[in-house]
């Protein structure tokens, strides 16, 4: 009886060891396919993206405040450190976020988006974590349900979170920063 229990336990462990990566891969493929579907559906809204001049790419001393042409900033001189991809619950200094944009990250500003928006932005910020093509989601007061999506020299303001439009912007501009374009 003990031998049978041991064999069943061992077989279950082997199954889980091989099944979990396969299940995770299937989930990742489904998530990627859904993202691609959303991005395709939102492409037309990219006509509303604003483009601004490149106001510099120099590093300034850490802790030095920088004035930017746009609010939130989409280009300009910045600190030598950046915000890694992910979803933040506290504000991140603009000078670090601009460096993230230069890397090719997308920075999305949120205040109180709907629950589906929070779920998708968290999922996407975990999906896109590359050094040169990530997604940074940060809080910004007084947006309400609005969202601001930014890339290097690009900005799109949305009155409410729209998954297809956000996905289209991310798909179009992620990984295209001037420091090391990878897409």
pLDDT of residue 7: 39
pLDDT of residue 77: 98
Tens of pLDDT, residue by residue, the chain (183 residues): 554 444 334 434 433 343 334 334 445 676 899 999 999 999 999 999 999 999 999 999 999 999 999 999 999 999 999 999 999 999 999 999 999 999 999 999 999 999 999 999 999 999 999 999 999 999 999 999 999 999 999 999 999 999 999 999 999 999 999 999 998
| Cβ contacts of 79 within 8 Å, gap of 6 or more | 59, 60, 61, 62, 63, 64, 93, 95, 96, 99
pLDDT of residue 30: 67
pLDDT of residue 11: 37
Whether 101 and 154 have beta carbons less than 8 Å apart is answered as no
**Cis status, amide bond into 154, omega within 30 of 0:** no
pLDDT of residue 107: 98
SS3 at position 111: coil
pLDDT of residue 42: 98
Q: CB 61: neighbour CB atoms within 10 A?
A: 8
Is the sign of the CA dihedral 131, 133, 138, 140 positive or negative? positive
| Residue found by looking up tokens 């996905």 in the block | 167
pLDDT of residue 26: 45
pLDDT of residue 14: 36
pLDDT of residue 1: 52
Report the predicted TM-score, pTM, of the whole model to 2 decimal places.
Answer: 0.85
């Amino acid at each position: 009886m003990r031998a049978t229990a041991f064999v069943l336990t061992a077989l279950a462990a082997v199954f889980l060891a091989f099944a979990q990566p396969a299940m995770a891969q299937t989930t990742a493929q489904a998530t990627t396919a859904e993202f691609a579907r959303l991005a395709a559906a939102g492409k037309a809204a990219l006509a509303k993206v604003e483009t601004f001049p490149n106001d510099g790419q120099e590093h300034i001393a850490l802790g030095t405040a920088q004035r930017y042409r746009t609010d939130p900033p989409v280009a300009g001189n910045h600190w030598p450190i950046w915000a890694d991809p992910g979803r933040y619950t506290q504000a991140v200094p603009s000078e670090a976020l601009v460096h993230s944009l230069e890397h090719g990250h997308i920075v999305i500003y949120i205040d109180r988006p709907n629950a589906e928006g929070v779920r998708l932005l968290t999922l996407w910020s975990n999906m896109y974590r590359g050094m040169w093509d990530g997604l940074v989601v940060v809080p910004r007061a007084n947006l309400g349900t609005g969202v601001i999506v930014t890339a290097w020299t690009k900005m799109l303001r949305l009155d409410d979170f729209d998954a297809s439009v956000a996905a289209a912007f991310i798909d179009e501009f992620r990984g295209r920063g001037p420091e090391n374009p990878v897409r």
